[in-house]
Amino acid sequence: MENKIEIFNDPDVLHLKSELNELEQYFNQLTADKTEFEKLLSDFHNRHTVELGNIILEILKLRKLKFKSDRVKFEDAENDEKQYYEQVETEKKKHQYFLNDDEKIELKKKFRRATFLCHPDKVNDTFKDAAQKIFIQLKLAYEANDLNRVSEILNELEKGNYFKTKSETINEKDKLKAEIVKFKSQIQTLETEIAEIKESETYKTIIEIDSWDDYFKHTKEKLTMELEELNSEILG
């Protein structure tokens, strides 16, 4: 009679692995959410600076002239002009690919999927450094709207070059419990950071905008009027 080897699966370990897996998935969702919120703010900031930067610089220059007889106000205005000029130069150097609405949706979906497969905080410690390098490349491509590069990274990961998560590779109770505590702490931090983004004035402004094109058009018109008023005031 053939002897069969029975493998005992500790129900406590299975339960811990299941709990850790759920936390990993929620952590991944929050990480992707936070990255998307940050990208929204970054995209808005970039477009605001690129489209309105020159006229704002002209306004700051005139404000500086307006306060030429007041040393303190003049220095403050000069500092504002210098800092904003540096901001404009930095934003203009950024390269972003243009995507239509369907491509933007595709980019988000692929980024989320790729994040799940390579986030360095989720993978076995042995592969953490390798995952970190890929994850950095993924984020940079996502921030630049580089759909082709994000697709390439995802394809490589889905071919089998992905990293197994801790819930798949850890089998000791104490280590599983430690990872669960760690993930709960990281999740709490992410939830706090996302809440802070949603409470920021910039985010509240952005989500109330129906059309960015209309917003920047109207804002430019207002700034043009302000510039003309300052010119009249200074030139008399």
| Token code pair at residue 9 | 């699966």
pTM of the model: 0.84
The band of 1, judged by pLDDT with boundaries at 50, 70 and 90, is: very low
Q: Quick check: 74 and 64 in contact, CB under 8 A? A: yes
Q: How many domains does the chain have?
A: 1
- 88 inside domain: no
201-220: b (≥16 Cβ within 10 Å) or e: eebeebeeeeeeeebbeeee
Classify residue 93: in a domain, yes or no: no
pLDDT at res. 149: 97
Residue 78 lies in a domain: no
Residue 171: inside a domain:
yes
Q: Could you tell me the pLDDT band of residue 4, with boundaries at 50, 70 and 90?
A: low
Interatomic CA distance for residues 212 and 236, integer angstroms: 36
The predicted-structure confidence for 203-231, as pLDDT tens digits, reads as follows 999 999 999 999 999 999 999 999 999 98
Residue 121 phi, psi dihedral angles, 5° rounding: -75, -10
Is residue 77 situated within a structural domain? no
pLDDT at 88: 94
In a domain, 62, yes or no: no
9 within domain boundaries: no
Residue 60 lies in a domain: no
Angle at which helices 11-66 and 212-235 cross, to 10°: 30
Over residues 164-173, the pLDDT tens digits come to 888 888 889 9
Structural domain span for residue 29 = 16-48+100-235
